[in-house]
Structure 1
């Protein structure tokens, strides 16, 4: 059996893509046309002034470049690594029609990496306006809302259930794409604006909803999503069955082990988290990794670049294949998974065609581990304790103000995202956090004007 030392495993989880050198960044920034009505700005959900930050790189003003980026996007360092830039800013670059687009994501990473390496504080606290805001959840949406509110002078407290803030960026995106140090720096930038972050605090459990609502002028719900739901098949409790969210988190928390070396792994699902589970397995030394998906590649929700990345890592894809049962040995350890082939039937509400089982197509795939990645659960208990209107755990909000059915509670991020490919991007959550902050500030400003 192949042996991989712990040191080599750790090396496997270092960033895959190297950053630009100074010379490369200068040459690339000088290719930019600095368009007056730049389509790349319109394509960025957070509206970063891309020509300006690139021009500042070209002139050697890296602090100014980082400030331009982070002013528009409070998690701009993370987004430089995880945004589907080919679909957003780079996809809109005018140079697509002649040569190749500017490497906007890489240039954004270059400027923010410089700020991180030089331990720069980009923004200073504002004078207090006497108002208080509680933010439930310290992920991209919650951090963005807190950052913008703090810049308006609000006293903001973030309540985060995990050990550290950062949400998806800290725990849910693989280290070889987004190291934790990047997310931690973004959290620190928010804390430097006098934002209080209380970790290991679950609202509704460690802090009552009543105390929260009575203790703050306004509340922002940015709680994100929960764990991977049950598959609803036999064998889910066997040794060797993993929740993809917890699995990826363990690799970022220093929980790398040799358990997967030489093993056969199956990942169920075809979203970005499934890709992460599969590529993590490869880096943990798995001999063979398969992704099972009950639909086809056309319906998968993973980004195209994630799909290509997984294929380059040697991950196999079994389309139109659904699990029926996870099989274990006499010791309760996974040894196989029974599957059935599918065909696509009538269209469902989300626009995708319903998978229908093909009778007589059952077959068994020998495996040593199964990783479940079929979406995430909703925070039903918290939403109901807050008394908010929702659709199956998707909180209803006013599309303009992101205000919930309770006028003192606003919501942003995954908690208001329904089904739909490409919706729940980190950059979209960041912009929603900003939008919530602007809406809250506008509401309080209007009240003060009337009074």
Structure 2
């Protein structure tokens, strides 16, 4: 649609709304508004954001597609319970400041969540509009609307008010999305809050894991600065379990409560021949080098560069695999192959990420899986040997199990292999803290209020849930903060 066509349509819809004659069928007839984005060829050689955001006209038209359902089923799919129909109605009426205020009642990171949360399997999955068309891609674009109003907040949000000092100290271990929320909510209650971060920059997975072209780091920086302005202390290069243990934080350093939000940062490997060869990375290492250390900028003299690759194989089908493959393109690879043992339908990655990866020239090798990685006399990777697969009966996940086809081995010439098949909980907290209960996967066990088995210690995010999302981690950070505030209110000074 042209700008003039959008203008005419919006004026017509608003006139009907004012007259009380706007019907659901009128809303169904509004075309979904596509997100403007960088040209696919151009973005292969830069790390600037791919999705460029809605214009105001697009946002208002997209908001007009919302039926304003009385039951608001979309909220059931939102882990933090944002009043979705209310913020969307505010956008439709042109009151974007009010829309942002509504979102921030429940979400402290709308610019982040609007970009990276999988709305298609959360709030948008239950959208009545999408259900009417039997196509979640035609649901109201809740995430894009959230991003739109968040990005209008160009002067920065007002600093949240902080209650009178309570004399209680709270330690937040990890500065990812859950840690940021827990820090903000406990600080607002008047506690003395310190965030401990293992890396030299705060932000957790939002800084080291998610590429700049999906989530600009300036957005995360602004959120950290807001915490600092609230009086939260940020301590970097501090590894809880090594620099200090949780027990030391509580018994020697005087912290009354500790929230553990360290994520699940231990990469999984396949256990195949050749994984120790030069040129084989975990996705964690590859993305951390690129995102946190700016290794994509070869002219900057980055301290931890990535070796220049020509032919890259990425193993996996999730968002992390897409991030690694799309990063490899941007650091100059001539060929990038994505190897996944199921079909595209079973891929856990977001549809948008798969679409962008294909646009950027990444070759998908589906129903294939590595058998071994081949190296030369200098122990450098030179090829990856794969097996072809077919789908058999469903496994415990409900997806059809891939079954290897005997004798189907073949080689792909590569100089770099990136393993992106998932992560596990880092065992450091478990090894250095007695009194905490863990499950068989090494994740912390918590109750419905995110309390662990150790008095005064709370946890949330990937260390509890396994591989989760930004919004789920935020939800647990909020639950844990409420429990901390309640428990500390009953604790004498």
Aligned residue number for residue 446 of structure 2: 397
Distance change in 2, residues 1:348/1:37 (3 Å) = closer
Match of 1:148 among 172, 182, 185: 185
Match of 1:13 among 47, 52, 59: 47
Counterpart-to-counterpart distance in 1, 2:397 and 2:74: 29
Aligned residue number for residue 5 of structure 1: none
Aligned residue number for residue 454 of structure 2: 406
Structure 1 residues 430-439 or 251-260, which shifts more? Answer: 251-260
Distance change in 2, residues 1:260/1:10 (3 Å) = farther
TM superposition shift of 1:198: 0.9
Determine if contact 2:159/2:229 at 8 Å carries over to the other structure: no
Counterpart-to-counterpart distance in 2, 1:321 and 1:354: 13
TM superposition shift of 1:31: 4.5
Aligned residue number for residue 4 of structure 1: none
Q: Does 1:245 align with 2:284?
A: yes
Determine if contact 2:340/2:369 at 8 Å carries over to the other structure: yes
Distance change in 2, residues 1:380/1:79 (3 Å) = same
Distance change in 2, residues 1:408/1:347 (3 Å) = farther
Aligned residue number for residue 3 of structure 1: none
Determine if contact 1:77/1:186 at 8 Å carries over to the other structure: no
Alignment of 1:125-274 (within 5 A): 125-214=162-251, 215-253=254-292, 254-257=294-297, 263-274=310-321
Counterpart-to-counterpart distance in 1, 2:430 and 2:393: 33
Alignment of 1:82-97 (within 5 A): 82-96=116-130
Counterpart-to-counterpart distance in 2, 1:378 and 1:147: 25
Q: Does 1:50 align with 2:84?
A: yes
Match of 1:288 among 335, 356, 366: 335
Determine if contact 1:260/1:285 at 8 Å carries over to the other structure: no
Counterpart-to-counterpart distance in 1, 2:126 and 2:307: 41
Aligned residue number for residue 105 of structure 1: 143
SS of the aligned residue for 1:395 comes to coil
Aligned residue number for residue 368 of structure 1: 415
SS of the aligned residue for 1:277 comes to helix
Alignment of 1:327-406 (within 5 A): 327-343=374-390, 350=397, 355-387=402-434, 388-391=436-439, 392-398=441-447, 400-406=448-454
Higher relative contact order (CA 8 A, sep 6+): 1
SS of the aligned residue for 1:105 comes to helix
Q: Does 1:428 align with 2:462?
A: no
Counterpart-to-counterpart distance in 1, 2:384 and 2:210: 27
Structure 1 residues 231-240 or 96-105, which shifts more? Answer: 96-105
SS of the aligned residue for 2:152 comes to helix
Per-residue CA deviations over 1:392-414 (Å, capped at 9, x if unaligned) read: 3111112x122112132111000
Structure 1 residues 428-437 or 127-136, which shifts more? Answer: 127-136
Counterpart-to-counterpart distance in 1, 2:162 and 2:316: 44
Counterpart-to-counterpart distance in 2, 1:110 and 1:13: 21
Structure 1 residues 341-350 or 206-215, which shifts more? Answer: 341-350
Q: Which runs of 5+ in 1 are unaligned?
A: 1-7
TM superposition shift of 1:440: 2.1
Counterpart-to-counterpart distance in 1, 2:395 and 2:85: 42
TM-score (norm 2): 0.80
Per-residue CA deviations over 1:6-58 (Å, capped at 9, x if unaligned) read: xx789521111111223333443445444443222222111111233234434
Distance change in 2, residues 1:345/1:55 (3 Å) = closer
Structure 1 residues 119-128 or 191-200, which shifts more? Answer: 119-128
Determine if contact 1:9/1:256 at 8 Å carries over to the other structure: no
Counterpart-to-counterpart distance in 2, 1:58 and 1:343: 48
Per-residue CA deviations over 1:99-149 (Å, capped at 9, x if unaligned) read: 85433222211211121x223325222222222211111111111111121
Distance change in 2, residues 1:348/1:88 (3 Å) = closer
Counterpart-to-counterpart distance in 2, 1:396 and 1:98: 39
Determine if contact 1:159/1:201 at 8 Å carries over to the other structure: yes
